[in-house]
Amino acid sequence: MPGTFEPLPGGGAAVALDDVEISIIRSLAIQLLELIGPGPGGAAPEDPLAELFAEGPSEPPADPVLRRLFPDAYCDPEQAPDSPEDAEEQRAHSAEFRRYTENDLRAGKRESALAVIGSLDALAPVGEEGAVLKLSPAESRQWLGALNDLRLAIGSRLEITDEDDTDLLYRLPDEDPRKPMVMAYLWLGGLQETLVATLMA
């Protein structure tokens, strides 16, 4: 089971993690939370009902990682619009969509990252052989979302845009400063892949 998710009887998934792996995932999830931010009303909104109906931003985030996590809904980065009018219409639709969905998307990503941190913090003390993390089906789906977000964030920092970029990263020399980030990206990909397979079994 080390490094791969396996199904649990009755649903859910389990994976064995050592203390270094736990520390890496937890640290990355905390960094993701810091990047996403606390939300429009902070940690304790005065009026939860007003918070529920608060409009989000209409412009894409400036940070390239956040742009990857919260992409424009109506703009295809790989296909240019047919005309300036089409481009303007796409921007207007994307801004409207973002205004009414981004707050919820951010909240969902925060919730998944917090679930990852919480489940790691709840593990029994890690011995020499590590600990076994057991997730319910709902927790497994939150982990899947968080793993995907972490890979998107790291992939954006590494400027991975297609499969060819990944192939080049495999061949980076050990002294390249990007190597640790690449190793984390590939390892999280393996975890994500086995979790998907587990949930589909």
Domain parsing of the chain, residue ranges: 6-200
**What per-residue string of b and e applies to 24-48 under the rule 16 or more CB within 10 Å gives b?**
bbeebbeebbebbeeeeeeeeeeee
Q: Using an 8 Å Cβ cutoff, are 119 and 163 in contact?
A: no
Neighbouring C-beta atoms of residue 201, cutoff 10 Å: 8
Residue among 43, 44, 75, 50 at smallest CA distance from 60 = 75
Residue-level pLDDT at 79: 61
Query: What ranges in 122-178 are assigned the alpha helix state H?
Result: 137-157, 163-170
Residue length of the chain: 201
Q: What is the pTM of this model?
A: 0.80
**Residues with Cβ within 8 Å of residue 90, at least 6 apart in sequence:** 72, 74, 75, 81
Tens of pLDDT, residue by residue, the chain (201 residues): 457 999 999 889 999 999 899 999 999 999 999 999 876 544 445 665 555 555 666 677 788 888 888 887 766 555 655 667 766 766 676 677 777 777 888 899 999 999 999 999 998 776 666 789 999 999 999 999 999 999 999 999 988 877 777 777 778 888 888 889 999 999 999 999 999 999 987
Residue where the block lists tokens 């109906």: 53
